[in-house]
Structure 1
């Protein structure tokens, strides 16, 4: 990878190439600050990393990527089986319904391509509709719509088309599987819709639970330093559309499969040039949030100022900077206990639309051991945008005008 990766667009870089890492060479990075001598590290000559903590992160990043490559097929297969089983139970109204339908010979079998088939993430929170109490003039409207679009992005093409057209009554502009030039397959997903006020929503899919390619993008902590933007996560840049041998050219080569950035930029230009009043919002959850935040940065790199002027906001996720702090351990565990308790009472206090199922409660229990995991799933972001104070969203609207970014934590 290092020999074919074009780095001319960056002022500095450090690239990790797991396929070039033997276990012995990988272990050596823990005991030597001269990281440039490792075969799997591509960086400018003479670069050293004196901090053991950072070398440990490099070690973990490469090791996990190698493990994901080795176990990718079984991981995907297991996830596919789990999704099928969850949809089989749902389609037959639960385990006892499945038993009764089996006895009657009337089992409803899931179709993975149908508008009724839910992803693992979608099975955790099955809400489809937008909140009927939050209209287009409500200051929370675009936050709610953006988060629901980010949640819907985990589903198949038929599901997304159905929910946009039939449930939300908006224009469906397409759902896509985009090429990742480094993984050499289509591993980046996004869809586009237009609401009734001529605002286009671009929603990037996040990390699916059993998707080894998405996890590999997350754990690829290679970085490139871009002028005016700083150091940027390499895995996210690759997922967005960086070209292996060309970096970020102004235009993608015609003989290459379309990547997310170039295809979405082209689509937005076509739609916005035909409508002077139209604007757009970029959104996503997890990995999708990172891609949403990067999209304007690459537009700026290409000096697409007129397109950036039509950007009405970026709804992205901000990491919790205190997640690994021991001082925050007790509050995190306390929050996890409260979240589990709340899952049993929230439907009584806020209404049936907030009822949580058994699968989500299993994640709430997992949160007692690894605090923050269930809170990272989309359902709490949906709840926050629907139940949040209007004052909070009025403040965030100002930040959208000034910075074009709304962060969720």
Structure 2
């Protein structure tokens, strides 16, 4: 009984700290998109370097978030959360002071490492601290603050870049992460369930797979002039993935637990998170580059952020409403509908370009796309974790978020190729196809 009482009394400060950290992580993910055109000018970044400013963060997070989930299970969710939050704050400080683009890329990779431990750890910490009756509500709050950060990021990034410069975005990260870490330090929680062991072979193969995959996809832009630059890394990625499956399925405590994908709900949730992050990161990056370019809409950073307000409002409102909507109409219908709304939103934006409509015609499309993204992203983590044993909460959250971050970096990479060939309209077609794939995946969910 005392243990249960302590858990209940710990919920408020732990949930507050974890939600504050997720607000910063979510804001960081989207605010930088509004700042990239300004960063491009001040740091003299080329197109490939702009992609790596985004991908260094996403790719490192995708690789190490599985480690973060494992650390949450083995060392204790709150302790691993503190480590991740501290790394994220340190990396943000380095970016705020960075003198050159190379330093920004390296620090973004460190920031991705911090996010890997913070995201997986805080989700597991919230799940661990909440009593059974309040667990769904607590995870909903965690997801809501992450989505709030996502939603206000474009506006915050645009306003801060316009009035204070892009570096101040990262000072804000430090200001949010420090009190979050201090709150968790006062409530460190239980220790790990067993001695920490690291699957270094699995981690190495996973890193090789993801890095060669993204390198090969980036090289597709020049496949006609240098085909080997794409073929070789993509072949290595295929070999590494086969080796990863062979190695991890034979281990008793694998880093990448492929057995989780035998659970249909978990596998579908992972696929949905991959696709929805593919969509949102690609849309925000290339919309901002288009909106702030002289050949595009010619907006300032703050104007571009304000133009995304319909998307931001939809993300915030419908992320909070998603649990109630799911209870009313069922998860399958809600997720399928969200995927179709995302496709419709992309189609509306695309049509506004094709008909040379006024900028106001973009607003309904951005709102509808935001509704679809919110319904999927707010619900998929709960769908994936709902049927897993509590002891696998950290591992499961790590795997889900790894798929999410990988989807973001694949989207940014593919989007860069399409953006160079056909501009933002081409990117919107790519996102529409991804949304339809998400809808097809949702139809495989069991109706109950």
**TM-score for both structures, normalised by structure 2:** 0.23
Based on CA coordinates, which of the two structures has the bigger radius of gyration?
Answer: 1
Bigger fraction of residues in strand: 1
**TM-score for both structures, normalised by structure 1:** 0.24
Higher RCO (CA < 8 A, seq sep 6+): 2
